[in-house]
Structure 1
Amino acid sequence: MAGSNYGTAFRISTFGESHGPGLGVVIDGCPAGIDFDEDFIQAELARRKPGQSRLVTQRKENDGVQILSGVFEGKTTGTPIGMVIYNEDQRSKDYGHIFDKFRPSHADYTFQAKYGIRDYRGGGRSSARETAARVAAGAVAQLLLRKVGVEIKSYVSQVGNITLPQDYADLDLDLIESNDVRCPDPATAALMEEEILAVRKDGDTIGGVVTGLIRGVPPGWGEPVFDKLHAELGKAMLSINACKGFEYGSGFAGVTLRGSQHNDGFYQDEEGRVRTHTNRSGGIQGGISNGEDIYFRVAFKPVATIIQDQTSINEDGETVIVSGKGRHDPCVLPRAVPIVDNMAALVLADFCLRARSGQW
């Protein structure tokens, strides 16, 4: 499946299905000599794993990562890094009732149309469980980015109609992990949690927004025309399950401004660095980083599986009733935060290597 590869200089290839033996990733292009912090990689996987709170699916997976290659005595060797995460709590029988039915807003029909066959047990490669491999790879990318001072922090900024009243500059981002929602404002987080639990009680789901923030990217990362930095970030985010929208900088709100209001004026600070008075560009101009904070918003739809009866059709075109069973997220947002972090890391690690050369 060609769509399971990503990257130019820092390249990954993922494999595995939701209800198969496990999932994994091969990373090629990671430089030698990077400190390989396996505890950090495991911690990132723990942030994404199911069963971590009452707000998410109760599937119980430890998501323990096994390193197969590319690491020696705590450092990367420059050769391909292989990692695997074994599945432990598959309940494939939960999907027996939809073996020939197309669930509304799922990939069941489109996979059948494309391949003529599909894995109905949790959706196979279309399942959000696939993102575990990406998070493992993204954590390695974060280890590389540490070497050049790049930091990535994402958080939940909206659930349904409940929205954070502040932007990132007015928030204490150290509070992101202080609650199960991963919202850095405790009062707003409490309202979001209440909403998610109410939705779950109704057998329904709800969507929202994850805001991403990247600091420390120097000027000059990104390529003109087709490989623009924001275009690659958008591609990475839109590849995440349930993602329906991406905007960076002023985004869609910027259309209400005139150019005289929207432009970011330049100045030189006391240390001789080129800066901008405002940052409506979101740290990217002409597809290339300008040294300011990069910030973006990622919209996620309500999870397609609901514990309610829905009308659909089966493979023979007959009208059927589909009802969700098993263990599912009422809201993808809390577990999407580490996925956003690590997909951003994969993009930035790739552009970092394209912009740099030499020893690490």
Structure 2
Amino acid sequence: MPQAPIAAFEATVIKIEDLSPVFRRITFGGPGLDDFGVSGHPRDLRFKLIIPSAGKTEPEFDLLRFLDEQDPESGLSWYQAWLQIDPAIRGAMRTYTVREWREDVRELVVDMVLHFDGQGHSGPAAAWAQSAQLGHRLHIIGPSRHAEGPTAGIEFAPGDADNILLAGDETAVPAIASILESIKDSGAQGKAFLEVPTAEDVLDLDAPVGFEIEWLPRGDADHGELLEPAVRDAVRVEDTALAEKKVLAELIASGGTSVVKSRGVSDTGTASIWPVELEDINIDEAILWDVPTALTQAAQGSSSNTQKDSRPFYAWIAGEAGPVKRLRRYLVQEVGVDRHQIAFMGYWRQGKAEG
């Protein structure tokens, strides 16, 4: 019988490291992770942590049994059924990314962000991470290594692109760090912009030779205040070809097809690239998640730098939904980068809890 691609696992805290004021590394192990795993590098793999009720050091709710008992014919998803259980019993669900999966020893490394407001209050995940001790246990929902087919929860799919842009705030740093390690020997070049609360939160990352990493300590600035101009400047520098495409599209619209054909560009090919209208996403009511599964031929042809000696372009942008939404509009609608070349992910929204 085929194994479900997503399953529940019990994980035990086996190591705790404070990397910086905002990053605490929790390493999970134990026999409960024997069937957890992915085929190949996890890249930006997402999974769920089920945080036990406040003050509890292990789950009170038998999630594994609960998932086994779900009836797919009921018309109710397991998540909807889970939400109907008293939160004081079931705990809270939060999404994280894998920092490292150690296949040989069955260990899962998670870098958790310690978010606290001015009064020292935090969400359930940060509170749990702050008080976690060796031997504490919780449940994880993630991929089974016995499942067939692609692993759910991985969005970083650059195809054969080797000109890559990565950008995010502190919640995206673990995923970006994992992505950089996954492409270390690929020959890819590019830039990574990481906005973090303070200079003390700058980490030593392993990246491909020639890949530029720029840390942006935010200080008292708002989320995205440093990240947005950094991304705009990076793409604007590379934007000579897309600017020409815009001119060509305008010539087509005005009937100047002879000029367009003299440059060897098809009428329909260029006209379909520019301009691009994006649907508006209310990030206070919906999750911003605009991601391609792989580069397409159209994306290859609409790189942010399509000169003869250029390489295909791919970008991965995640973090607080406000800056991600604005960068999505800039890159796709103003610059004209094909949507198949960029993964936009609003990991979280200020003032709103997950779920």
The answer to whether TM tops 0.5 is no
Q: Which has the higher contact order (CA 8 A, sep 6+)?
A: 1
Larger radius of gyration: 2
- TM-score normalized with structure 1 length: 0.25
